[in-house]
Amino acid sequence: MPEGRFTGEYEIIPPVKKEDPPKLTMTGTDPRPDTDYDPAELAMGIKVEMEHTDDPAVAKKIAKDQLDEDGKYYTHLKSIEKADGSND
């Protein structure tokens, strides 16, 4: 595992109501500074990932995980959603 990566665990919290999707929480710390990421991409990522959690810190960690794999992940996602008409 590369140094500086998030080392905690994701946990799925069951929905309160049957029709609600499960939400994610996390344990552990995230040593990766925000300055290691493009601010626009990170902001887009946090917004997108908030559909999986109520915690902005969790959304930020998920976004950073995605951006570690592809620094333009959310730009690519947005263009794919625009192309297929599925963006909000």
Rounded mean pLDDT, 78-86: 86
Whether 77 has a pLDDT exceeding 80, the answer reads yes
31-43 per-position pLDDT tens digit: 889 999 999 999 9
Rounded distance, CA 85 to CA 79, Å? 10
How much is the CA Rg of the chain, to the nearest whole Å? 14
CA distances from 5 to 26, 28, 30, 38, 59 (A): 14, 11, 7, 17, 15
- Per domain, the residue ranges of the chain are 9-84
36-69 per-position pLDDT tens digit: 999 999 999 999 999 888 889 889 999 999 999 9
User: What 3-state DSSP class applies to 33?
Assistant: coil
13-28 per-position pLDDT tens digit: 666 666 666 666 667 7
Whether 88 has a pLDDT exceeding 70, the answer reads no
Whether 2 has a pLDDT exceeding 50, the answer reads no
For the entire predicted model, the pTM comes to 0.68
